[in-house]
Amino acid sequence: MPDNNYYDILGVSRDAGEPEIKRAYRRLARKYHPDVNPGDKSTEPKFKKINEAYEVLSNKENRKKYDRFGDRWQHADQFARAGGQQAPTRDFSQRGGSASFDFGETDLDSLFDELLRGTRPHTYTRRARPRQGRDIKSPIDITLEEAHHGTTRTISLQITEPCPTCQGRGLIQNVPCSTCQGAGAINRVKRLEVKIPAGVDNGSRVRIPGKGQPGYAGANGDLYLVISVKSHRLFKRRGNDLHAELPVPLTTVMLGGEVQVPTLKGKLPLRIPPETQNGRIFRLKGQGMPHLGNSSRGDMLAKVNVVLPAKLSPQEKELFKRLSELQPTN
Protein backbone atom coordinates (compact mmCIF):
# COMPACT_ATOMS: atom_id res chain seq x y z
CA MET A 1 0.00 0.00 0.00
CA PRO A 2 1.47 3.45 -0.96
CA ASP A 3 2.58 5.51 2.01
CA ASN A 4 1.61 9.07 1.10
CA ASN A 5 -0.56 9.56 -1.98
CA TYR A 6 -4.16 9.47 -0.76
CA TYR A 7 -5.48 8.64 -4.24
CA ASP A 8 -3.09 5.69 -4.48
CA ILE A 9 -4.02 4.55 -0.99
CA LEU A 10 -7.69 4.34 -1.98
CA GLY A 11 -6.86 3.10 -5.48
CA VAL A 12 -8.79 5.82 -7.32
CA SER A 13 -7.90 8.42 -9.93
CA ARG A 14 -7.47 12.10 -9.12
CA ASP A 15 -10.74 12.95 -10.86
CA ALA A 16 -12.75 10.26 -9.07
CA GLY A 17 -16.16 11.35 -7.87
CA GLU A 18 -17.44 11.14 -4.31
CA PRO A 19 -19.39 7.85 -4.85
CA GLU A 20 -16.30 6.12 -6.31
CA ILE A 21 -14.16 7.31 -3.40
CA LYS A 22 -16.73 6.04 -0.93
CA ARG A 23 -16.96 2.65 -2.64
CA ALA A 24 -13.18 2.32 -2.68
CA TYR A 25 -13.01 3.22 0.99
CA ARG A 26 -15.61 0.61 1.94
CA ARG A 27 -13.85 -2.11 -0.07
CA LEU A 28 -10.53 -1.45 1.62
CA ALA A 29 -12.10 -1.06 5.05
CA ARG A 30 -13.68 -4.47 4.68
CA LYS A 31 -10.27 -5.93 3.90
CA TYR A 32 -8.12 -4.17 6.50
CA HIS A 33 -10.39 -3.47 9.47
CA PRO A 34 -8.62 -5.02 12.53
CA ASP A 35 -11.84 -6.62 13.75
CA VAL A 36 -11.96 -8.60 10.51
CA ASN A 37 -8.31 -9.62 10.92
CA PRO A 38 -7.96 -10.67 14.56
CA GLY A 39 -4.36 -11.42 15.45
CA ASP A 40 -2.91 -9.60 12.39
CA LYS A 41 -1.47 -6.39 13.80
CA SER A 42 -0.19 -5.28 10.39
CA THR A 43 -3.72 -4.36 9.29
CA GLU A 44 -4.16 -1.61 11.87
CA PRO A 45 -1.67 0.93 10.39
CA LYS A 46 -3.09 0.19 6.92
CA PHE A 47 -6.59 0.85 8.18
CA LYS A 48 -5.47 4.16 9.70
CA LYS A 49 -4.01 5.25 6.35
CA ILE A 50 -7.23 4.32 4.57
CA ASN A 51 -9.21 6.31 7.12
CA GLU A 52 -6.90 9.30 6.79
CA ALA A 53 -7.10 9.27 3.00
CA TYR A 54 -10.88 9.01 3.02
CA GLU A 55 -11.24 11.78 5.62
CA VAL A 56 -9.40 14.17 3.33
CA LEU A 57 -10.74 13.15 -0.08
CA SER A 58 -14.36 12.91 1.05
CA ASN A 59 -14.26 16.54 2.24
CA LYS A 60 -14.47 18.97 -0.71
CA GLU A 61 -12.49 21.76 0.94
CA ASN A 62 -9.79 19.46 2.27
CA ARG A 63 -9.55 17.70 -1.08
CA LYS A 64 -8.97 21.04 -2.86
CA LYS A 65 -6.19 21.86 -0.43
CA TYR A 66 -4.67 18.40 -0.87
CA ASP A 67 -4.81 18.61 -4.67
CA ARG A 68 -2.89 21.89 -4.50
CA PHE A 69 -0.45 21.38 -1.64
CA GLY A 70 -0.14 17.60 -1.32
CA ASP A 71 0.94 16.36 2.08
CA ARG A 72 1.20 20.00 3.23
CA TRP A 73 -2.51 20.53 2.74
CA GLN A 74 -3.09 21.13 6.43
CA HIS A 75 -0.95 24.28 6.18
CA ALA A 76 -2.85 25.63 3.17
CA ASP A 77 -4.36 28.53 5.11
CA GLN A 78 -0.93 29.53 6.39
CA PHE A 79 0.44 29.45 2.85
CA ALA A 80 -2.43 31.63 1.68
CA ARG A 81 -1.83 34.22 4.41
CA ALA A 82 1.89 34.24 3.75
CA GLY A 83 1.63 34.30 -0.03
CA GLY A 84 1.82 30.56 -0.04
CA GLN A 85 0.99 30.35 -3.75
CA GLN A 86 4.65 29.54 -4.26
CA ALA A 87 4.58 26.64 -1.89
CA PRO A 88 5.67 23.42 -3.56
CA THR A 89 2.92 21.22 -4.83
CA ARG A 90 2.85 17.56 -5.80
CA ASP A 91 1.77 15.99 -9.05
CA PHE A 92 -1.05 13.49 -8.50
CA SER A 93 -1.84 13.01 -12.16
CA GLN A 94 -0.43 9.45 -12.14
CA ARG A 95 -2.87 7.05 -10.59
CA GLY A 96 -1.51 4.15 -8.61
CA GLY A 97 -2.79 0.67 -9.26
CA SER A 98 -6.13 0.00 -7.65
CA ALA A 99 -6.93 -3.33 -6.04
CA SER A 100 -10.24 -5.15 -6.35
CA PHE A 101 -11.60 -7.10 -3.43
CA ASP A 102 -14.19 -9.79 -4.10
CA PHE A 103 -16.55 -10.55 -1.20
CA GLY A 104 -18.80 -12.84 -3.26
CA GLU A 105 -22.53 -12.66 -2.67
CA THR A 106 -22.29 -11.83 1.04
CA ASP A 107 -23.80 -8.48 2.00
CA LEU A 108 -21.37 -7.01 4.52
CA ASP A 109 -22.77 -3.50 4.47
CA SER A 110 -24.64 -3.86 7.73
CA LEU A 111 -21.59 -5.41 9.38
CA PHE A 112 -19.27 -2.61 8.37
CA ASP A 113 -21.80 0.09 9.04
CA GLU A 114 -21.63 -1.15 12.62
CA LEU A 115 -17.85 -1.53 12.66
CA LEU A 116 -17.08 1.81 11.03
CA ARG A 117 -19.77 3.95 12.61
CA GLY A 118 -18.15 6.93 14.30
CA THR A 119 -14.59 5.87 13.39
CA ARG A 120 -12.31 8.80 12.58
CA PRO A 121 -8.61 8.91 11.72
CA HIS A 122 -6.14 9.25 14.62
CA THR A 123 -8.82 8.29 17.15
CA TYR A 124 -9.41 4.68 16.17
CA THR A 125 -9.65 2.27 19.10
CA ARG A 126 -10.11 -1.41 18.38
CA ARG A 127 -13.24 -2.87 19.94
CA ALA A 128 -13.40 -6.48 21.00
CA ARG A 129 -15.93 -8.34 18.86
CA PRO A 130 -18.46 -10.29 20.92
CA ARG A 131 -17.67 -13.97 20.74
CA GLN A 132 -18.33 -17.13 22.70
CA GLY A 133 -15.59 -18.31 25.04
CA ARG A 134 -13.84 -21.58 24.15
CA ASP A 135 -14.71 -24.84 25.88
CA ILE A 136 -12.10 -26.51 28.10
CA LYS A 137 -11.51 -30.25 28.43
CA SER A 138 -9.97 -31.48 31.67
CA PRO A 139 -9.02 -35.19 32.09
CA ILE A 140 -9.97 -36.67 35.49
CA ASP A 141 -8.82 -40.05 36.90
CA ILE A 142 -11.07 -41.65 39.52
CA THR A 143 -11.43 -45.02 41.24
CA LEU A 144 -14.29 -47.44 40.69
CA GLU A 145 -15.52 -46.65 44.21
CA GLU A 146 -15.64 -42.94 43.33
CA ALA A 147 -17.51 -43.73 40.11
CA HIS A 148 -19.98 -45.75 42.20
CA HIS A 149 -20.61 -43.19 44.93
CA GLY A 150 -19.80 -39.92 43.11
CA THR A 151 -17.01 -37.62 44.22
CA THR A 152 -15.54 -34.12 44.00
CA ARG A 153 -12.22 -32.81 42.72
CA THR A 154 -10.38 -29.51 43.00
CA ILE A 155 -8.75 -28.76 39.66
CA SER A 156 -6.55 -25.97 38.31
CA LEU A 157 -7.41 -24.41 34.95
CA GLN A 158 -5.37 -22.09 32.73
CA ILE A 159 -7.81 -19.28 31.91
CA THR A 160 -7.35 -16.62 29.24
CA GLU A 161 -9.58 -13.63 29.91
CA PRO A 162 -9.97 -10.10 28.49
CA CYS A 163 -7.42 -7.67 29.88
CA PRO A 164 -9.18 -5.52 32.51
CA THR A 165 -7.00 -2.50 31.70
CA CYS A 166 -7.90 -2.20 28.01
CA GLN A 167 -11.16 -4.21 28.18
CA GLY A 168 -9.82 -6.72 25.68
CA ARG A 169 -9.03 -4.12 23.01
CA GLY A 170 -5.24 -4.40 23.20
CA LEU A 171 -4.85 -0.64 22.68
CA ILE A 172 -5.29 2.44 24.82
CA GLN A 173 -5.44 5.60 22.71
CA ASN A 174 -3.75 3.75 19.85
CA VAL A 175 -0.89 2.65 22.12
CA PRO A 176 -0.44 -1.06 23.01
CA CYS A 177 -1.74 -1.78 26.48
CA SER A 178 1.13 -2.20 28.95
CA THR A 179 -0.74 -4.79 31.01
CA CYS A 180 -1.30 -7.31 28.19
CA GLN A 181 1.39 -6.00 25.79
CA GLY A 182 -1.27 -5.39 23.18
CA ALA A 183 -2.61 -8.94 23.23
CA GLY A 184 -5.97 -7.91 24.66
CA ALA A 185 -5.96 -10.85 27.07
CA ILE A 186 -4.15 -12.11 30.16
CA ASN A 187 -3.61 -15.63 31.51
CA ARG A 188 -4.28 -16.75 35.04
CA VAL A 189 -4.69 -20.02 36.94
CA LYS A 190 -8.16 -20.69 38.33
CA ARG A 191 -8.90 -23.30 40.99
CA LEU A 192 -12.33 -24.86 40.84
CA GLU A 193 -14.11 -27.54 42.86
CA VAL A 194 -16.12 -29.80 40.58
CA LYS A 195 -18.63 -32.53 41.30
CA ILE A 196 -18.45 -35.88 39.52
CA PRO A 197 -21.81 -37.69 39.59
CA ALA A 198 -22.27 -41.36 40.43
CA GLY A 199 -22.40 -43.70 37.44
CA VAL A 200 -19.70 -42.15 35.23
CA ASP A 201 -17.60 -44.52 33.14
CA ASN A 202 -14.47 -44.39 30.99
CA GLY A 203 -14.91 -41.65 28.41
CA SER A 204 -17.85 -40.00 30.19
CA ARG A 205 -17.95 -36.22 29.69
CA VAL A 206 -19.33 -34.18 32.56
CA ARG A 207 -20.38 -30.71 31.38
CA ILE A 208 -20.05 -27.77 33.75
CA PRO A 209 -21.74 -24.79 32.03
CA GLY A 210 -20.00 -21.43 31.94
CA LYS A 211 -16.73 -22.60 33.51
CA GLY A 212 -14.68 -22.64 30.32
CA GLN A 213 -12.69 -19.78 28.80
CA PRO A 214 -14.26 -16.34 29.31
CA GLY A 215 -16.00 -14.86 26.29
CA TYR A 216 -15.26 -11.47 24.75
CA ALA A 217 -18.41 -9.49 25.38
CA GLY A 218 -20.24 -12.82 25.13
CA ALA A 219 -21.01 -15.97 27.09
CA ASN A 220 -18.29 -18.07 28.66
CA GLY A 221 -17.44 -21.48 27.26
CA ASP A 222 -18.13 -24.71 29.14
CA LEU A 223 -15.86 -27.02 31.09
CA TYR A 224 -15.92 -30.71 30.17
CA LEU A 225 -14.50 -33.28 32.60
CA VAL A 226 -13.29 -36.29 30.60
CA ILE A 227 -13.47 -39.28 32.97
CA SER A 228 -11.06 -42.20 33.19
CA VAL A 229 -11.91 -44.94 35.72
CA LYS A 230 -9.02 -46.96 37.14
CA SER A 231 -9.03 -50.76 37.09
CA HIS A 232 -10.20 -52.54 40.26
CA ARG A 233 -8.53 -55.57 41.85
CA LEU A 234 -11.82 -57.42 42.50
CA PHE A 235 -14.42 -56.18 40.04
CA LYS A 236 -14.68 -55.87 36.27
CA ARG A 237 -17.24 -53.45 34.93
CA ARG A 238 -19.35 -54.22 31.87
CA GLY A 239 -21.81 -51.44 31.31
CA ASN A 240 -23.42 -50.95 34.69
CA ASP A 241 -22.97 -54.57 35.82
CA LEU A 242 -20.06 -55.66 38.00
CA HIS A 243 -18.44 -59.08 37.59
CA ALA A 244 -16.41 -60.81 40.29
CA GLU A 245 -14.85 -64.19 41.05
CA LEU A 246 -16.38 -65.78 44.17
CA PRO A 247 -14.07 -68.25 45.94
CA VAL A 248 -16.12 -71.04 47.56
CA PRO A 249 -14.68 -74.02 49.52
CA LEU A 250 -15.17 -77.47 48.03
CA THR A 251 -17.20 -78.65 51.01
CA THR A 252 -19.59 -75.69 50.64
CA VAL A 253 -20.32 -76.29 46.97
CA MET A 254 -20.84 -80.01 47.71
CA LEU A 255 -22.97 -79.72 50.86
CA GLY A 256 -24.35 -76.21 50.52
CA GLY A 257 -23.79 -73.28 52.81
CA GLU A 258 -23.42 -69.52 53.06
CA VAL A 259 -20.60 -67.31 51.78
CA GLN A 260 -19.94 -63.55 51.87
CA VAL A 261 -20.01 -61.73 48.52
CA PRO A 262 -17.96 -58.49 48.31
CA THR A 263 -19.73 -55.47 46.79
CA LEU A 264 -18.89 -51.76 46.57
CA LYS A 265 -21.30 -51.18 49.45
CA GLY A 266 -19.90 -53.93 51.68
CA LYS A 267 -20.24 -57.72 51.98
CA LEU A 268 -23.55 -59.49 51.44
CA PRO A 269 -24.48 -63.08 52.41
CA LEU A 270 -25.21 -65.53 49.59
CA ARG A 271 -26.74 -68.99 50.02
CA ILE A 272 -24.91 -71.65 48.01
CA PRO A 273 -27.12 -74.64 47.14
CA PRO A 274 -25.68 -78.18 47.58
CA GLU A 275 -23.77 -79.61 44.62
CA THR A 276 -23.19 -76.18 43.04
CA GLN A 277 -20.98 -76.56 39.97
CA ASN A 278 -17.76 -74.66 39.48
CA GLY A 279 -18.26 -71.57 37.27
CA ARG A 280 -21.92 -71.06 38.16
CA ILE A 281 -22.89 -67.38 38.17
CA PHE A 282 -25.14 -65.85 40.81
CA ARG A 283 -26.84 -62.54 40.03
CA LEU A 284 -27.32 -60.06 42.87
CA LYS A 285 -29.93 -57.55 41.69
CA GLY A 286 -29.15 -53.85 42.10
CA GLN A 287 -25.65 -54.39 43.50
CA GLY A 288 -23.83 -53.05 40.44
CA MET A 289 -23.12 -49.50 39.27
CA PRO A 290 -25.72 -46.73 39.29
CA HIS A 291 -27.02 -45.56 35.93
CA LEU A 292 -25.74 -42.06 35.14
CA GLY A 293 -28.60 -39.61 35.45
CA ASN A 294 -31.23 -41.86 37.08
CA SER A 295 -31.80 -43.98 40.18
CA SER A 296 -31.63 -47.45 38.60
CA ARG A 297 -28.64 -49.74 39.10
CA GLY A 298 -26.86 -52.60 37.42
CA ASP A 299 -26.32 -56.03 38.99
CA MET A 300 -23.48 -57.91 40.61
CA LEU A 301 -22.60 -61.18 38.87
CA ALA A 302 -20.59 -63.49 41.14
CA LYS A 303 -18.93 -66.48 39.48
CA VAL A 304 -18.22 -69.47 41.68
CA ASN A 305 -14.58 -70.43 41.81
CA VAL A 306 -14.20 -73.65 43.82
CA VAL A 307 -11.25 -73.59 46.21
CA LEU A 308 -9.71 -77.08 46.40
CA PRO A 309 -8.20 -78.17 49.71
CA ALA A 310 -4.42 -78.31 49.98
CA LYS A 311 -1.99 -80.01 52.39
CA LEU A 312 -4.42 -82.82 53.20
CA SER A 313 -4.04 -84.71 56.46
CA PRO A 314 -3.89 -88.52 56.39
CA GLN A 315 -7.48 -88.63 57.63
CA GLU A 316 -8.63 -86.26 54.85
CA LYS A 317 -6.83 -88.32 52.26
CA GLU A 318 -8.55 -91.44 53.56
CA LEU A 319 -11.94 -89.72 53.27
CA PHE A 320 -11.27 -88.68 49.69
CA LYS A 321 -10.17 -92.23 48.91
CA ARG A 322 -13.40 -93.60 50.27
CA LEU A 323 -15.31 -90.91 48.29
CA SER A 324 -13.59 -91.94 45.10
CA GLU A 325 -14.56 -95.56 45.71
CA LEU A 326 -18.19 -94.51 46.18
CA GLN A 327 -18.33 -92.30 43.07
CA PRO A 328 -18.79 -94.17 39.82
CA THR A 329 -16.16 -93.61 37.16
CA ASN A 330 -16.78 -93.27 33.45
3-state secondary structure of 250: helix
pLDDT over 90, % of the chain = 47
Q: For the chain, which domains are there? A: 6-116 (1.10.287.110), 136-229 (2.60.260.20), 236-326 (2.60.260.20)
Least confident of 38-47, 53-62, 77-86, 291-300: 77-86
Q: Are 193 and 157 in contact (CB under 8 A)?
A: no
**Separation CA 61–CA 71 (nearest Å):** 15
pLDDT at position 91 over 70: no
pLDDT (0 to 100) of residue 125: 46
**Separation CA 17–CA 14 (nearest Å):** 9
| Residue 308 CB neighbour total at 10 angstroms | 8
Cα–chain center distance at 153: 20
**Separation CA 223–CA 211 (nearest Å):** 5
pLDDT at position 256 over 90: yes
Q: Are 85 and 77 in contact (CB under 8 A)?
A: no
Q: Are 137 and 211 in contact (CB under 8 A)?
A: no
307's enclosing H/E stretch is: strand 300-307
CB contact set of 221 (below 8 Å; sequence gap of 6+): 132, 133, 134, 135, 136, 210, 212, 213, 214, 215
Nearest C-alpha neighbor of 197 from the set 222, 237, 225, 221? 225
Q: pLDDT, tens digit, for every residue of 103-155? A: 333 344 444 454 444 444 444 444 546 678 889 999 999 999 999 999 999 99
Q: pLDDT, tens digit, for every residue of 235-253? A: 999 999 999 999 999 999 9
Nearest C-alpha neighbor of 123 from the set 166, 174, 165, 169? 174
pLDDT (0 to 100) of residue 105: 35
pLDDT (0 to 100) of residue 3: 55
Taking phi over 0 as left and psi of -120 to 50 as alpha, with beta for the rest, 5 belongs to beta
pLDDT (0 to 100) of residue 133: 84
**Separation CA 207–CA 58 (nearest Å):** 53
